């Protein structure tokens, strides 16, 4: 057993299910080397793929904000406190750490982070398949089917939050299988840690974590009585609950607003779910098509209740997660919401019961999963309007605003001495490519502008007042700025609720 595989969450058991081959001396390390090589190669390939997003273009509604915050933090325009007080908090600090190498190789930190995470997942999947007893050739084919799945590639293209959600979903699924069958402390740690990872990874992960709630009881080990279910829930959810409480405290401490992070899309998404519920039927059907391994596992595991219980729990979670993600507007594309299916398919392949026909069956199911993902991707333009849910949710929540901010960011690229509350609109910074040249919340000039109610910069970008969003300091403190500008300023940009006023010669404000 390789050292790395042995330390992977939940991989230690079950033991290899197929007869072990006699390995030559020194062969023990080669699976590890193979997995690392595979992961590295995939990371490089993924980076190239992410740069040319192709069919995944426009999948970046949330990571824009994340990348923007990272850029602001890296340029010293946001304090670490502000960075960690914003949702999602997990990827921010590692991404800041990746800033230098990303600049060196000419990519964005988000792209590099996603590619590295994809590479790590590819390596882990290969190692886990080998650990599960598949022969090397078979394992390589299965791993290739998994990483070649458009859902996986799309998740990486969608950004760090979606990629992290994939990792979280896989770790959770792996832990779920062993928790139900073995019920050890490590399985609990794996599952509860994965739930925390999912919850704080981003909106899609959050939707997935919430979707697990009705199904957690199915993961209860058989030797634990039903009356202990509340304790199981408490242990599994404690990291999420305590993390959330900690997040509230950090917001209170750093921003003096305990629920400041809720002013983002989260409250809107929650309200949206509460106001009208429309099950996105076609994406839910696609979810089944993208994870046929779970359905097949349920059938194949007849007589093995633990396997069946977990397979049904994961399938139920996936369907509910897709519904929640689309209903809340957490995902721009319905196909993005389907991405965790590939992680669940991977886990199912690794936990497939020992059978002589296992390699062929699993390969076939993963190929079906790949086909399902491809079909979803090719028809994504039709799925969205048909369900209506995504479009409606997007109208209601952040999608439209996100598009507007990206457009403004592109407009501001190359302009300097621009006053803007960038911390409230980090997607603008992401689309602009950096925070250099922006006068933002942490700059003295920004504070002076608010105090003196006078604009001293060359330009100012201001959003229309939005009753549902109060975090923009400019529109809050200078309520007339959007409508009337300021003395000496001309309107040079007016689009989707954003205006840019400038001292420069008058430009045509129309897009």
Partner 1 sequence: MGVLSPSDIWTGDYLVENGLISLPQLDEASDLAEQWDSSLSDVLMSRRWVRPIDYYRALADRFGIDFVDLRADPPDPAVLSEDEVERYARELTLPWKRRGNRLVIATARPGPEAILYARSRWGSEIDIVLTAKFDILWSLQRIFGDAHSRRAVHELAELDPEMSARTVFTRSQILVAWAMLTAFCLGLCLAPVATLIALNAVMGLFYLGNFVFKGILVWFGARRQQDNATALDAEVRLLRDEDLPTFTILVPMFKEPEVLPILAGALRRLDYPQAKLDIKIVLEEGDHETIEAAKALGLEGIFEIVRVPASQPQTKPKACNYALRYARGDYLVIYDAEDQPEPDQLKKVVVAFRQSPDNTACIQCRLNYYNAEENWLTRLFTLDYSLWFDLMLPGLERLRIPIPLGGTSNHFKTGVLRELRAWDPFNVTEDADLGIRMTQKGYRVGVIDATTFEEANVSQSNWVRQRSRWIKGYMQTFLVHTRRPIHLVRTIGPLGTLGFIFFIGGTMLSGLLNPLFWAIFGFWAVTQTSGFDIVFPPLLLYMALFNLILGNGMFVYLMMLAPFRRRWLSLVPFSLTVIWYWALMSVAAWKGLWQLVTKPFYWEKTHHGLSKFTAGEVAEALRPEQAPA
Which residues, 43 to 82, sit near partner 1 by CB under 8 A? Answer: 79-81
Bridge partners (DSSP) listed for residue 466 = 469
Least separation in angstroms between residue 429's CB and partner 1 is 21
Tokens, residue 190: 């794996």
Least Cα distance to 34 among 116, 118, 123 occurs for: 123
Which residues, 244 to 283, sit near partner 1 by CB under 8 A? Answer: 246, 249-250, 253
Bridge partners (DSSP) listed for residue 462 = 499
Cβ atoms of 323 and 284 closer than 8 Å = yes
Letters for 84-103 (x = contact with partner 1 by CB under 8 A, - = none) are: x-------------------
Tokens, residue 431: 């689309």
498-502: strand order across its sheet: 438-439, 418-419, 459-463, 498-502, 490-495
Tokens, residue 229: 């279910």
> For partner 1, which stretch binds (CB under 8 A), given 56-64, 226-234, 284-292, 311-319?
226-234
Of these, 55, 148, 243, 316, which contacts partner 1 (CB under 8 A)? 243
Which residues, 389 to 428, sit near partner 1 by CB under 8 A? Answer: none
Q: Which lies closer to partner 1 via its Cβ, residue 246 or residue 479?
A: 246
Contacts of 59 (CB under 8 A, 6+ apart): 53, 154, 157, 158, 159, 162, 332, 333, 336
Q: Which lies closer to partner 1 via its Cβ, residue 8 or residue 282?
A: 8
Q: Which lies closer to partner 1 via its Cβ, residue 81 or residue 354?
A: 81
Least separation in angstroms between residue 31's CB and partner 1 is 20
In angstroms, rounded to a whole number, what is the distance separating the alpha carbons of residues 295 and 151?
18
Q: Which lies closer to partner 1 via its Cβ, residue 80 or residue 483?
A: 80
Q: Which lies closer to partner 1 via its Cβ, residue 224 or residue 281?
A: 224
In angstroms, rounded to a whole number, what is the distance separating the alpha carbons of residues 500 and 316?
47
Of these, 44, 224, 360, 445, which contacts partner 1 (CB under 8 A)? 224
> For partner 1, which stretch binds (CB under 8 A), given 47-55, 119-127, 227-235, 486-494?
227-235
Q: Which lies closer to partner 1 via its Cβ, residue 15 or residue 135?
A: 15
- Give the SS3 label for residue 420: coil
Which residues, 10 to 29, sit near partner 1 by CB under 8 A? Answer: 12-13
Bridge partners (DSSP) listed for residue 463 = 498
> For partner 1, which stretch binds (CB under 8 A), given 220-228, 367-375, 394-402, 453-461?
220-228
DSSP state of 338: T
Q: Which lies closer to partner 1 via its Cβ, residue 172 or residue 493?
A: 172
Cβ atoms of 315 and 338 closer than 8 Å = no
Query: 26-37 b/e with 16+ CB inside 10 Å = b?
Result: eeeeebbebbbe
Going by their DSSP bridges, the two strands 498-502 and 438-439 should be labelled as unpaired
Least separation in angstroms between residue 441's CB and partner 1 is 16
Cβ atoms of 283 and 322 closer than 8 Å = yes
Of these, 98, 120, 142, 232, which contacts partner 1 (CB under 8 A)? 232
Q: Which lies closer to partner 1 via its Cβ, residue 222 or residue 360?
A: 222
Query: 206-236 b/e with 16+ CB inside 10 Å = b?
Result: bbbbbbbeebbebbbbeeeeeeeeeebeeeb
- Give the SS3 label for residue 491: strand
Q: Which lies closer to partner 1 via its Cβ, residue 243 or residue 497?
A: 243
395 CB burial (10 A radius; 0-12, 13-18, 19+): exposed
Cβ atoms of 420 and 390 closer than 8 Å = no
Q: Which lies closer to partner 1 via its Cβ, residue 254 or residue 262?
A: 254
Letters for 178-217 (x = contact with partner 1 by CB under 8 A, - = none) are: ----x-xxx-xx--x-------------------------
Least separation in angstroms between residue 231's CB and partner 1 is 4
Task: Note whether 8 binds partner 1 by CB under 8 A.
Answer: no
Which residues, 341 to 360, sit near partner 1 by CB under 8 A? Answer: none
- Give the SS3 label for residue 502: strand
Of these, 57, 223, 302, 487, which contacts partner 1 (CB under 8 A)? 223
Q: Which lies closer to partner 1 via its Cβ, residue 227 or residue 506?
A: 227
With residue 490 as reference, give the H or E element that holds it. Answer: strand 490-495
Least separation in angstroms between residue 259's CB and partner 1 is 17
In angstroms, rounded to a whole number, what is the distance separating the alpha carbons of residues 110 and 101?
12
Q: Which lies closer to partner 1 via its Cβ, residue 36 or residue 238?
A: 238
391 CB burial (10 A radius; 0-12, 13-18, 19+): middle
Of these, 230, 467, 487, 511, which contacts partner 1 (CB under 8 A)? 230
For partner 1 (CB under 8 A), the number of binding residues is: 29
Least separation in angstroms between residue 200's CB and partner 1 is 12
In angstroms, rounded to a whole number, what is the distance separating the alpha carbons of residues 245 and 264?
17
Please give the residue ranges that form the binding site for partner 1 (CB under 8 A).
12-13, 79-81, 84, 182, 184-186, 188-189, 192, 223-224, 228, 230-232, 234-235, 238-239, 242-243, 246, 249-250, 253
């Amino acid at each position: 057993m390789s050292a790395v595989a042995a330390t992977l969450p939940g991989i230690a058991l079950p033991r290899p299910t197929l007869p072990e081959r006699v390995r030559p001396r020194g062969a023990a390390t080669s699976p590890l080397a193979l997995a690392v090589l595979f992961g590295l190669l995939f990371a490089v390939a993924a980076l190239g793929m992410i740069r040319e997003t192709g069919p995944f273009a426009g999948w970046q509604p949330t990571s824009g904000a994340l990348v923007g915050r990272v850029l602001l933090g890296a340029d010293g325009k946001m304090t670490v406190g502000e960075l960690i007080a914003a949702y999602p908090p997990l990827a921010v600090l590692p991404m800041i750490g990746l800033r230098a190498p990303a600049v060196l190789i000419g990519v964005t930190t988000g792209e590099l982070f996603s590619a590295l995470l994809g590479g790590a997942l590819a390596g882990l999947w290969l190692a886990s398949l080998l650990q599960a007893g598949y022969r090397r050739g078979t394992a390589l084919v299965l791993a290739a089917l998994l990483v070649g799945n458009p859902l996986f590639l799309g998740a990486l293209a969608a950004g760090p939050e979606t990629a992290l959600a994939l990792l979280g979903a896989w770790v959770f699924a792996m832990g779920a299988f062993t928790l139900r069958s073995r019920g050890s402390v490590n399985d609990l740690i794996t599952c509860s840690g994965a739930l925390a990872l999912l919850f704080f990874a981003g909106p899609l992960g959050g939707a997935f974590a919430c979707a697990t709630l009705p199904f957690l009881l199915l993961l209860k080990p058989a030797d634990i009585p039903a009356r202990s279910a509340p304790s199981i829930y408490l242990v599994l959810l404690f990291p999420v609950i305590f993390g959330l409480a900690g997040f509230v405290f950090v917001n209170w401490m750093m921003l003096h607003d305990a629920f400041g992070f809720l002013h983002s899309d989260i409250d809107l998404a929650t309200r949206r779910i509460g106001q009208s519920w429309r099950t996105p039927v076609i994406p839910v059907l696609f979810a089944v098509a993208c994870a046929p391994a779970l359905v097949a596992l349920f059938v194949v595991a007849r007589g093995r209740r633990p396997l069946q219980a977990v397979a049904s729990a994961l399938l139920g979670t996936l369907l509910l997660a897709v519904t929640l993600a689309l209903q809340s507007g957490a995902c721009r594309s319905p196909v993005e919401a389907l991405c965790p299916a590939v992680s669940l398919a991977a886990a199912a392949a690794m936990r497939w019961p020992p059978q002589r026909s296992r390699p062929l069956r699993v390969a076939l199911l993963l190929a079906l999963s790949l086909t399902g993902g491809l079909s979803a991707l090719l028809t994504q333009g039709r799925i969205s309007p048909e369900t209506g849910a995504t479009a409606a949710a997007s109208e209601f929540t952040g999608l439209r605003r996100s598009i507007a901010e990206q457009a403004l960011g592109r407009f501001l690229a190359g302009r300097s001495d621009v006053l803007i509350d960038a911390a409230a609109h980090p997607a603008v910074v992401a689309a602009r490519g950096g925070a250099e040249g922006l006068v933002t919340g942490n700059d003295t000039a920004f504070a002076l502008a608010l105090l003196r109610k006078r604009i001293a910069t060359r330009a100012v970008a201001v959003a229309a007042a939005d009753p549902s969003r109060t975090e923009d300091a400019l529109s809050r403190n200078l309520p007339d700025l959007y409508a009337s500008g300021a003395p000496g300023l001309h309107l040079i940009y007016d689009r989707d609720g954003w205006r840019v006023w400038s001292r420069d010669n008058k430009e045509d404000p129309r897009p």
